Structure 1
Amino acid sequence: MKAQVSHPGEKRTFVFSVIEKAPVVSEEVANVFRTLASNDVQLFPVSVEGESERYFVVNAIKVIDCIDDARCREVHHYAEEDPFLEDAGEYRWIYGLRIAPSKTEGAHVLRPKKFKTAFIVSEEVKNALEGVGNLGVSFERVTAPDGGNDEQRACSPLRDS
């Protein structure tokens, strides 16, 4: 696979691609996923135009029905009359995403069913990623603060300031 840089700027170790919000990561970040979430992801090598370092596309292979609608701040679904009929019943957008840790099946990395733009990682993976540094993502808690070992975080692209 080959990728082009769509938004030039500071080189980061973890970014989301424009297409399908696929994570593109450095080799060091890929090693975090290999070590802590080998059963939850696939890593595909990708050459990035103008870069000599190795990069990888991360595919979260676990898609789990774990969204806790009642605890989300605001939920919008695609309606039957929406022009994209294949999306009917799926989530159009969620503000204040919350998931039920009891439904994550112990996954360290997952995408929620019917809202696959969200990329969820365990607290352990989050901490290891932050140890790598220079990430182009931030983390938002999606479980209760007292989630203990089941705490999960959604990765979001960093916003330009």
Structure 2
Amino acid sequence: MSRYHQLRDDLHHPGRWHLRTPVDEHGQKLNPWQFTEGLRLEPLGVIRFPVRPDGVELDFSWASFSIPVVNSPFVQLFERLGIQDVQFLPAEIEGHTGSWFILNALRTLRCIDDARSAEVRYFTPEDGQPEKVGEYKYVRGMRIDPSKAEGAHLFRPWGWPEALIISEDLKQALEREGITGTRFIEV
């Protein structure tokens, strides 16, 4: 059975930068959740990320609200591997040159294994959000059912879009390539 990992940001990388909520060319904040819904997005104009505090550039970083931001070597690796189900949206990083992109995962799979996860909670009518009843409210120690991952290399789990899941093969490729800023948690 295949192994999968949650791709996380290495928050302990020495001197690292911290990307904030994206803004448009007029400085207006963009809806950050649109980048976690698994939907292809039309070009959004110029997307900029403020940086506070500034620091060491990383090949992979989370911006606010679980938005993965990557550089050209990261994108080129995905192209070489033929990874599908992803959209790279051009972005700019305040005070930094180079090519940057939002990694927009286009696949969402219903694959969280509630029984093997440490703890899951669902929204109930008592939570006062009727539109969310039956959706995940909390997932801790997430485990996925690999048989429901359909052989995917990159996806977000249905109901918990702040998680970005990758295959063991993709994890190993990122490590071989020396991509900075990544941390992996087996799920």
Q: TM-score band, normalised by the shorter chain?
A: 0.7 to 0.9
1:126 counterpart SS class: helix
Q: CA RMSD in A?
A: 1.7
Q: 1:42 aligns with which of 87, 92, 111?
A: 87
1:130 counterpart SS class: helix
AA aligned opposite 2:54: P
The correspondence of residues 68-147 of structure 1 with structure 2, limited to 5 A, is: 68-133=113-178, 135-142=180-187
- The more displaced of 113-122 and 33-42 is 33-42
Counterpart Cα distance in 2 of 1:86 and 1:138: 33
Percent identity among equivalent residues? 39
Q: Is the 8 A contact 2:90 2:99 kept in 1?
A: yes
Deviant stretches of 4+, over 6 Å = none
Larger Rg belongs to: 2
AA aligned opposite 2:49: A
Higher-RCO chain (CA-CA 8 Å, sequence separation at least 6) = 2
Q: Is the 8 A contact 1:37 1:108 kept in 2?
A: no
Instruction: Encode CA deviations 1:35-75: one digit per residue, 9 max, x unaligned.
Output: 33532211111111111110110111110001111111111
The number of residues matched between the two structures is 141
Counterpart Cα distance in 2 of 1:74 and 1:83: 21
CA-CA distance at 1:7 after TM superposition: 3.8
Q: Is the 8 A contact 2:58 2:181 kept in 1?
A: yes
CA-CA distance at 1:32 after TM superposition: 2.2
Counterpart Cα distance in 2 of 1:66 and 1:4: 34
Counterpart Cα distance in 2 of 1:18 and 1:27: 21
Unaligned runs of 5+ in 2: 1-46
Pair 1:105–1:8, CA change in 2 (3 A) = same
Instruction: Encode CA deviations 1:105-146: one digit per residue, 9 max, x unaligned.
Output: 11100000011111000111111222333532310111xxxx
AA aligned opposite 1:120: I
Q: 2:59 aligns with which of 6, 9, 13?
A: 13
Q: Is the 8 A contact 2:108 2:157 kept in 1?
A: yes
Unaligned runs of 5+ in 1: 143-161
